[in-house]
Amino acid sequence: MGLLVDGVWHDQWYDTKKSGGRFERQASRFRDAVSADGSTPYPAAAGRYHLYVAMACPWAHRTLIFRHLKGLTDAISVSAVAPLMLSQGWELPPGADAVNGATALWQVYVKAAPDYSGRVTVPVLWDKETGRIVNNESSEIIRMLNDGFGDLASGPDFYPQALRPEIDRWNDLIYPNVNNGVYRAGFATTQAAYEEAFEDVFTTLDKLEAHLAGSRWLCGDTQTEADWRLFTTLVRFDAVYVGHFKCNRRRIVDYPALWDYLRALYQAPGVAATVDLPQIKTHYYGSHATINPTGIIPKGPDLDFSQPSSRAG
C-alpha cells in the first residue's frame, strides 16, 4: 500500500510508530459533489462520470451497491482494479481503464492532480468532461448516488430527511468501531492498540446484535444507507477479519440476529453480484505481507448467504 509524494509514487506501508502502534486512516482529499440542481461544478449527466473500484474493498463496495440500487448502472461506467495491491498499489488489468488508459490507480490521481501527496485509494468518482477526480470519499459518493443524479436515478431514498439524525447516529457508532475498527485491529502494531480496537469491534457488534434482535433494519422498518454501510464490513467479516485481522472473539454466524440481517441484505436483488469473496480473500491475504508474509490464502470458511432470512422480502 503505497502513496504519492508530490506526484511521485512510493511503495511505503503505514507508519504507526508515531501513533503508538495505532492505525490512523488518512482523510480523503477530493471532496466535490455531483448535483442534480446545478449547485456544484459537476452537474448530473448520464455517461459523464466513471467509478474506479476494487471488488475487494468495503469502501468501494458501497458505491457499487448504490450504483445498482439507484438504477445508475447505465449512467455511470466502472473500472475495477486487480485484487492484489502490491508495489504499484492498486493496479488496473490490461484494458480495464477505457477512460484514462491507466495501468495503476496512482496514474489517475496524478492526471487529476500532478503534485498530489497522499494515499491512493478506492473508490474514485471521475469526471470524464473535466478530467478531474470529483470525490474519493465513499460516504459522500453514496450520498451523491442516492440524491445527486436527479431523474437519472430510481429506487428508494436511503437517506430520508425524517431519519437523518438516526442514520447519522448509527453511522457515527459503526464507522470508527466496526467499519474502520477491523482495520484498526488488523493494522495495529502494538498489543495495546490491537486490544483497544478489538474491544471496540465486539462491544459494538454486541450492541448491534441486541438492537437487531428487535428491529428489522437499523432504523426500524426502513432500510437506509446505515444498513449498507454496515453490510460491506459484515459480509467480509467471517472470511477475512476473523482470521487475517485477528477479530476472532465471535464470527457473524455466531450472532443470530446479525447473521439473519446480513443474509437479508445479501439477498436484495442484484446485491449478490457485487460480492466477490474469492477476490476479497485474495486481496487481504495476498496483499498485506506485513500481516501474512507467506501470502497463503485460506480455502474456507464455507458461508451460505442464500439461507432464508426472516427479514427478506
**Residues designated as active site:** 57, 183
User: CA 284, CA 301: separation in Å to the nearest integer?
Assistant: 15
Return all residues near 302 (Cβ < 8 A) that are at least 6 apart: none
User: CA 9, CA 118: separation in Å to the nearest integer?
Assistant: 10
User: CA 84, CA 291: separation in Å to the nearest integer?
Assistant: 14
Termini Cα distance of the chain: 40
Q: In what order do the strands lie in the sheet with 3-5?
A: 8-10, 3-5, 118-119
For residue 219, the SS3 value is strand
User: CA 72, CA 75: separation in Å to the nearest integer?
Assistant: 5
Q: C-alpha grid cell for residue 46?
A: 448520464
User: CA 109, CA 124: separation in Å to the nearest integer?
Assistant: 9
Q: Which helix (H) or strand (E) holds 183?
A: helix 181-186
> By C-alpha distance, which of 196, 310, 311, 300 is closest to 247?
196
User: CA 302, CA 179: separation in Å to the nearest integer?
Assistant: 23
